Amino acid sequence: MPEKKYSNEEIARAATSIRKRILGLAIDRGGCYLAQACSSAEIVSTLYMNIMNLGPSLGCPDAQPFPGVPSAVNMDYPKGSLYNGVQDVRDPDKDRFFVSCCHYASVIYCALVQAGRMSDRAIDKFNVDGWNMEMIGAEHSPGFENTAGSLGQTVCIAAGTAHAYKMKGWNGKVYCMLSDGELEEGQAWECFQASAFYGLDNFVVYVDVNGQQVEGWTKDIMNTEPMVDRMHAFGWEAVVVDGHDIDALEKAARTPHPGKPLMVLCHTSPAHGIPLLDKMMPKHFVRIPAAEKDAFVQFYQQM
C-alpha cells in the first residue's frame, strides 16, 4: 500500500476532476478518448492514490519536449516511467505499474496530476506536437513503462517483470491495467497461462470492462465471458467488482491469492459521470457533435 492513502471522498473528487478535464480536452481539441475516462477514472485514481506503492516521483513534473524517433533511438529522451517513481536502479520493495491500454493516456496523465506526481500545467501540452504528452501513450509518455502496442504485449512484459521479481526475491508487486477488448488477443492468454504456471502471486491485473471496443459492443464483436470462470480455469484468482465503487476496488487488491496471480474485473459504464454520452455509446473515440456542443459546454461548467 502507498505511504500516503487518500480517503474515498478525495479519490471520488479526483475521478470527477479527471472526467471534467478530459471532457474539456474533447471540447477544446475536437475529440478525445472520453468514454475511457468515464469508465476508468475511479480505477486509475484508486490504483495511484490508495493501492500501489510506487515510491516518490523522480521525474520532472512538467511536460517535456520530445523530438521524435531519432532521439528515441539514441535513448536521449525523458522516460515516462520516472513519473511512476522508478529509475534504472529498481527498489525491490516498490511496486511497478504497466499500462497496456495506451489510448487511456489522457486518464493516466490526469491521474498523475491528481496524485501529485505531475504538474497541473503539463496537461496544456496534451497531444501537442513536439511534446511527450501524446494521445496514445508510449515509453516516453508520463506514467508509461513501455510502448504498449500491439495489444497483449504489455501484459506479457508486466508478467515477465513479476517473474523476475520472484526470482530475485523482491517484495514489490507488479500491477497491469488492461481494457476488456484486449482479452480477445491470443498473446494475452499465453501470458495468463504462463503467469499461473510460474505462480506469480505478486502480479495483479485490473481490467476496465466497459463493454465496448473500436467496432462496437465487445459482446457482439467477440464475447469473452464468462471471464471469472475462464481465469479460474487458467489457474488465476479472479474477482468481479463495480469499477466505480472505490471501496470495492481497494478491497479487491487485498483478495487472498497465494501462489496465483490476481485479476480484478471492473465492470464500468463508458458514460459514467457524463450522461450526455449515453445516446452516443458505443463510441471508441468521442467527437462532440457541433449541434450538441453547447449542451456539453454547459454540463462541463456545472461539473
CATH number at residue 73: 3.40.50.970
Three-state secondary-structure class, residue 57: coil
Is 263 part of a structural domain of the chain? yes
- Neighbouring C-beta atoms of residue 169, cutoff 10 Å: 7
Is 1 part of a structural domain of the chain? no
Is 60 part of a structural domain of the chain? yes
Report the greatest alpha carbon distance in the chain.
58
What pLDDT score does 299 carry?
97
pLDDT at 214 over 60: yes
Count of structural domains within the chain: 1
- Minimum mean pLDDT range among 32-41, 53-62, 221-230: 53-62
Q: Please indicate, yes or no, whether the overall pTM of this predicted structure exceeds 0.75.
A: yes
pLDDT at 80 over 90: no
What pLDDT score does 70 carry?
53
What pLDDT score does 74 carry?
53
Is 202 part of a structural domain of the chain? yes
Is 124 part of a structural domain of the chain? yes
Is 51 part of a structural domain of the chain? yes
Q: Decide: 234 and 192 in contact? Cβ < 8 Å.
A: yes
pLDDT at 72 over 70: no
Residue ranges making up the domain that contains 133? 8-302
pLDDT at 67 over 90: no
- Average pLDDT over every residue of 235-251: 98
Q: How confident is the model at residue 148 (pLDDT cuts 50, 70, 90)?
A: confident
Is 2 part of a structural domain of the chain? no
Three-state secondary-structure class, residue 97: strand
CA 88 – CA 66 distance, rounded (Å)? 20
Is 3 part of a structural domain of the chain? no
